[in-house]
Amino acid sequence: MKFLRKRILLILLTSIFASVAANAGMMGFPTIDDYQERAHQYGVELVVPDFPTSIEEIESTTAEILAEINTLGDSIAMLEVNELTFENTFQAMDVGTALIYNRVLPINIVMNTSQDAEMRKFASDTMRKFRAANIEFNYREDVYHSLKAFADSNPELSDIDQRLVDEVMAEYRRLGYELAIEERARVEAMQKELSSLRYDFRENIREAKYELHFTKEALDGVPESFLNSIVDEEGMYVVRPNVTNHISQTLKFAKNADTREKIYLARTSRAKEVNIPILQEMVTKRNQIGTALGYKTWADYRTENRMAGSGQRAQDFLEDLVIKLEPKFQQEMADLLAAKKEETGLEAIEIQPWDIAYYQEQLNQKQFQLDTEKLRQFFPYEKCIDGMFTIFETVFDIEIEEIENPTIWDPNVALYAVSDATTEKPLGLFYVDPFPREGKYNHFAKFTIIPGLELPDGTYQRSTVALICNFAPPEEGKPSLLTFSQVKTLFHEFGHAMHSILSEVKYSRFSGTSVPRDFVETPSQILEYWLGEKDVLDLFAAHWQEQSEKLPAEWVESIKQADIANAGYRYRRQLTYGLIDMAMHHCEDVSDIVDDLVGLSNEIAARTTIAFPEGTAFIAAFGHLSNYDAGYYGYAWADVIAADMAAQFQATEDGFMDRETGFKLRKTIFETGNSKDVNLSLRDFLGRDPEMDAFIRALGIESIEASDT
Ligand SMILES: [Zn+2]
């Protein structure tokens, strides 16, 4: 049986080399037209988005789209009762909305990737207009009346059509359609204000650009390669606290505690002045909306249609994990303190927030001989991409091929086409925008650009998505080298892309990642588990200068151990963020808390991880509060389920390369999206309801009492 696994790996290795060789020998990539032709044979349509290239173009497109939104509403609203059909009401709305998104979402990409600050600003203002238009559409009484009249006529519908009707009507109820007309108008007005506040909040974070200038001495310990990328003309080193990579490189490696403190303080003070008042308004507004709709708290409203179902259940889940992790967390903090005492030779000393990443790195290097910088040498960007593709081509029975990119917004952006390996049916497109640029979205995320759905003529419009990333760019004579955690992020974001692209759902409303928010991370988090296996890593990880040099087995074991070693702190920090989010949004009387949100968040951090320093305001730049409100718990929630799902692969002979389990994952989870209750899809995959044990075991914690998720 071991033999079978070796054989699969051998086939994989051969195909990696074959594909590298094929690419190297090729003059150009296939074009979208080549793929489109094949797509049409299968009754599917691939869509290359139409990215506007000037402010004028955004302006004229916007006018057209806003008119289209009105036309869509009118077409449903003007139907007489005897004319109502499923097709001209619910389906028309789903299709119409998706086609509008086809034109809106490219502007969202411009906002997040354009090299031109004015374009970004204009695109951002435009997105705000669309958001408002969307809310206005949702509050169109006349549209609602047509839909409700059809829903009330008790039509005989297929399961999926009925689900669409039920979900849309539930959303209307959640919008306040069961309220008196004046009250509903008040809710609508508040929603619009909230939407505007959310945009301001995010915009302020994106634009919060400070620069800290250091001498080389002050940054002693920071990798040379990174320093070379931040040196200015005067020979000073410019650290930008809004760039994640700048933060991780300096806080992990700078030996000078004052330097780390300065950087940490700048990081946790971003947008402080502008965003705290906005946050206060958001929290208040959300509470008012939730209460007006008949919920005790905003979190109750937000979680009602998620797996958690209520604010209390989400909060209990977080507190439960805080307790389960306590002994491990305390042990880790004691180890960090001991390391600090040893390094400084001082006894009366405490661990500060800016010490944590640094001493974790020190301990990792010492205990696991794990040198992040050395490890990076084994993960050149191109090899990671190719290797990841090859792995999931096998696991999901798909093919991924780079195609000529007709819409380049940066020369490094690549476009890929995904097809089913057995039937060759094209399944979708995705862009990868790998490296940071001034003004570009500064984290890692998947953006949907074209949603997947079945059009009325039976053609299936496949998804197009973009992975916007910020890996360290190549340096002279050196490729882009990823840290191990960035490789994980790459696999994670790829999971989101697959969730969209593999979707086979009839309606865009249920397509791919349109699952409950506390489940949406699961299909991504599960893919991170592939990186825990040497067999899998050997498929692509090799020293960039010496291809035959694979990751030493002890390193892989060390990565695993190091991952577990810091897991207590890491998850407690996740829980801190989740609990801060819940404290703001699962609160019946916000007047108690709103005047001192910073104090509130400090209290939680002090109890569950480590207090934020005096004068900082972490929450001001906690972007999740703009759109992941009462939802941050979902990361840990999804992680618990992902661990359970990963254990299904681990239990097979072929482990993570098990095609049967992979195909089951594709069918039951990735293809299904939200076309059925996620709890049922999970049961299809797991054969039972999810459990917490696998997650706790994966963290290296031995015994727990039985607990569900
Ligand atoms: Zn994610």
User: Above pLDDT 70, what percent of the chain?
Assistant: 95
For 208, phi then psi, to 5°, come to -75, 85
Q: Contact, 48 vs 429, CB < 8 A?
A: yes
Residue 380 has pLDDT above 50, yes or no: yes
DSSP structure string for 309-347: -SHHHHHHHHHHHHHHHHHHHHHHHHHHHHHHHHHH--S
- 661/281 Cα distance (integer angstroms): 47
- 525/383 Cα distance (integer angstroms): 21
User: Above pLDDT 90, what percent of the chain?
Assistant: 83
**What is the distance in A from the centroid of ligand 1 to the CA of 522?**
8
List the structure tokens of 257: 């505690």
Return the closest-CA partner of residue 350 out of 327, 333, 325, 330. Answer: 333
**What is the distance in A from the centroid of ligand 1 to the CA of 497?**
10
**What is the distance in A from the centroid of ligand 1 to the CA of 630?**
16
Residue 24 has pLDDT above 50, yes or no: no
Residue 19 has pLDDT above 50, yes or no: no
Residue 141 has pLDDT above 60, yes or no: yes
Q: Contact, 205 vs 271, CB < 8 A?
A: yes
- 562/364 Cα distance (integer angstroms): 6
**What is the distance in A from the centroid of ligand 1 to the CA of 521?**
5
**What is the distance in A from the centroid of ligand 1 to the CA of 520?**
7
Contacts of 591 (CB under 8 A, 6+ apart): none
- 139/441 Cα distance (integer angstroms): 31
Q: Contact, 583 vs 601, CB < 8 A?
A: yes
- 322/568 Cα distance (integer angstroms): 9
**What is the distance in A from the centroid of ligand 1 to the CA of 108?**
18
**What is the distance in A from the centroid of ligand 1 to the CA of 182?**
39
DSSP structure string for 73-124: HHHHHT--GGG--TIIIIIHHHHHHHHHHHHHHHHHHHHHH-S-HHHHHHHH
**What is the distance in A from the centroid of ligand 1 to the CA of 635?**
8
Q: Residue 26: what pLDDT?
A: 44
**What is the distance in A from the centroid of ligand 1 to the CA of 515?**
13
At 580, the amino acid letter reads: I
Q: Contact, 283 vs 597, CB < 8 A?
A: yes
pLDDT digits (tens, 9 = 90+) for 633-666: 998 998 999 999 999 999 999 999 999 999 999 9
**What is the distance in A from the centroid of ligand 1 to the CA of 9?**
28
**What is the distance in A from the centroid of ligand 1 to the CA of 496?**
7
Q: Contact, 72 vs 93, CB < 8 A?
A: yes
Residue labelled with tokens 């001001």:
620
**What is the distance in A from the centroid of ligand 1 to the CA of 309?**
21
Q: Residue 209: what pLDDT?
A: 87
What is the mean predicted confidence (pLDDT) over 215-241?
95
**What is the distance in A from the centroid of ligand 1 to the CA of 525?**
7
**What is the distance in A from the centroid of ligand 1 to the CA of 493?**
6
DSSP structure string for 215-230: -TGGGTTS-HHHHHHH
List the structure tokens of 249: 């490189």
Residue labelled with tokens 């991880």:
609
**What is the distance in A from the centroid of ligand 1 to the CA of 233?**
37
Q: Under DSSP, is residue 426 helix (H, G, I), strand (E, B) or coil?
A: strand
Return the closest-CA partner of residue 94 out of 62, 72, 65, 79. Answer: 72
Maximum Cα interatomic distance, the chain, rounded to a whole number of Å: 85
Q: Where residue 707 falls among pLDDT bands split at 50, 70, 90?
A: very low
What is the mean predicted confidence (pLDDT) over 673-681?
94
**What is the distance in A from the centroid of ligand 1 to the CA of 495?**
8
Contacts of 294 (CB under 8 A, 6+ apart): none
**What is the distance in A from the centroid of ligand 1 to the CA of 100?**
25
Return the closest-CA partner of residue 575 out of 508, 644, 637. Answer: 637
Helix (H) or strand (E) run with residue 367 in it: helix 356-368
Q: Residue 409: what pLDDT?
A: 86
**What is the distance in A from the centroid of ligand 1 to the CA of 466?**
13
**What is the distance in A from the centroid of ligand 1 to the CA of 509?**
19
Half-sphere exposure of 691 (CA within 13 A, CB side): 12
DSSP structural state of residue 157: -
User: In whole angstroms, how far apart are CA 519 and each of 223, 445, 585, 644?
Assistant: 37, 16, 19, 13
List the structure tokens of 641: 């389920």
pLDDT digits (tens, 9 = 90+) for 29-80: 999 999 999 999 999 999 999 999 999 999 999 999 999 999 999 999 999 9
Q: Can you give 467-484 as a three-state secondary structure string?
A: EECCCCCCECCECCECCH
Q: Residue 4: what pLDDT?
A: 43
Full-model pTM: 0.81
Q: Residue 534: what pLDDT?
A: 93
**What is the distance in A from the centroid of ligand 1 to the CA of 501?**
15
pLDDT digits (tens, 9 = 90+) for 190-223: 998 999 999 999 999 999 988 999 999 999 999 9
Q: Contact, 441 vs 112, CB < 8 A?
A: yes
**What is the distance in A from the centroid of ligand 1 to the CA of 516?**
13
Give the chain's mean pLDDT. Answer: 92
Q: Contact, 74 vs 87, CB < 8 A?
A: no
**What is the distance in A from the centroid of ligand 1 to the CA of 21?**
32
**What is the distance in A from the centroid of ligand 1 to the CA of 149?**
39
Half-sphere exposure of 550 (CA within 13 A, CB side): 12
**What is the distance in A from the centroid of ligand 1 to the CA of 498?**
12
**What is the distance in A from the centroid of ligand 1 to the CA of 469?**
12
Q: How are beta strands 445-450 and 426-433 bridged, if at all?
A: unpaired
Least confident of 24-33, 398-407, 588-597, 685-694: 24-33
**What is the distance in A from the centroid of ligand 1 to the CA of 430?**
16
Residue 691 has pLDDT above 60, yes or no: yes
**What is the distance in A from the centroid of ligand 1 to the CA of 489?**
8
**What is the distance in A from the centroid of ligand 1 to the CA of 283?**
24
Residue 294 has pLDDT above 60, yes or no: yes
Q: Residue 692: what pLDDT?
A: 81
**What is the distance in A from the centroid of ligand 1 to the CA of 494?**
9
